[in-house]
Amino acid sequence: MADSTNRRGFLRALVRNAGEAIADVAGATRDEQPEPPKPPERQPQPEGAVVASAAPLLRQAPPVTRTLSLEEVLDLAAEEGLEARRDALRDLARTSTRLTPALEAPATSTIGRAEATAHRDGTVATVADIDLTDPALPAGVLPDSGRLVVRIVVPRRAAVARCGRAQVSVALGEATPEGLPVRLSTEVTFPRVWATPVQALGLDDDEHERYVRLRERVAELQGVPADDDGADGVARHHLLGYPTETSGAMPLMCELVARGLDPETSPAEVSAEVAGASARWRLLLQLTQAERSGVILGTGVTRLFLWISRDRLARHDLSEVWAIAR
């Protein structure tokens, strides 16, 4: 009898210790980043759900502190000795709206999937809900009323597709906040000096250095760093502008898939006509998976880039948008 009692006591202690160990592990992997709003606790996951492993804590890209006008930027170009490139620089300059965690004031835009269903697969997930009436958005580039709602397909028991169609629409009425609340701030941006459109200008060595300095000055005056690489380890989310990456391959991928061709086709096998047509693609939205600050996109995603053609963007036609997961 005593042996039986001892065994029961041992089992109770074992179960209690196991529960404490599980709690310790959960506490060790819980998001602890102080800046963004703390997301709600995750709910138990359904059987078969794809659950991501513990993610690194990413450094948050800062908001813009001052938005330069295009004319101010072109005046800076003249100061840098690039006056002869004024028209080309005007064409290269693009406004970009950063999406950074809202720490104080209420926010009307959100990014990332709802925490309660963030790891559910086999669904269509909303990854952004942007208030198009926000005064920080540049005038005329996007529709000026409603909410820009972006959805992607999350396959069942598989990673998000490397290149697939996104569902983008303008919704009316009040938003139902589900993701991470973000504030909007807009900057003027230029592509990296090694980007295809800059290389097409045929800058000489002196102009090359002047362009780099111009880009750094424009960023510095707007209170943000000039990203010259892929910004690994940085939570970088923005609308419009240029993608934070270094390959330059995504416009061609969009052109190929829009024509019903394999987006993974080697550039060496692509005709000059198709390659030239790829210049029409524009970045619509970039999101970074940052689980520990509340931005969850899907399994196998580091960044998600959404692209739209220049003509469709100009007429606010959101019927063909391609999502590329990296």
144 in Cβ contact with 133 (< 8 Å): yes
pLDDT at 51: 46
- pLDDT of res. 105: 67
Cα 147 to chain center, whole Å?
Answer: 17
- The structural architecture, per CATH, of the domain 59-325 is Roll (2.30)
8 Å CB contact between 320 and 308: yes
Q: Mean pLDDT, to the nearest integer, of 128-133?
A: 97
- State the burial class of residue 208 (Cβ atoms within 10 Å of its Cβ: 0-12, 13-18, 19+): middle
Is 76 a residue whose pLDDT tops 60? yes
Q: What are phi and psi of 129, to 5 degrees?
A: -140, 100
Distance CA 225, CA 311 (A): 30
pLDDT, tens digit (0-9, with 9 covering 90-100), for 204-233 = 999 999 999 999 999 999 999 988 777 889
Looking at the DSSP bridge assignments, the partners of residue 321 are 166
Would the pLDDT of 107 be above 80? yes
* Mean pLDDT, rounded, of the chain: 86
Model confidence pLDDT, tens digit, residues 143-191: 999 999 999 999 999 999 999 999 999 999 877 768 999 999 999 999 9
Domain ranges of the chain: 59-325
pLDDT at 192 over 90: yes
Indicate if the pLDDT at residue 46 is higher than 70.
no
Assigned token pair, 316: 């606010």
| 81 vs 114, more confident | 81
**Tell me, what's the pLDDT at 231?**
82
Segment 76-86 mean pLDDT:
98
Q: Are strands 234-235 and 59-60 parallel, antiparallel or unpaired?
A: parallel
pLDDT digits (tens, 9 = 90+) for 236-276: 999 999 999 999 999 999 999 999 999 999 999 999 999 99
Radius of gyration over alpha carbons of the chain, in Å?
Answer: 23
- Work out the number of other CB atoms within 10 angstroms of the CB of residue 216: 13
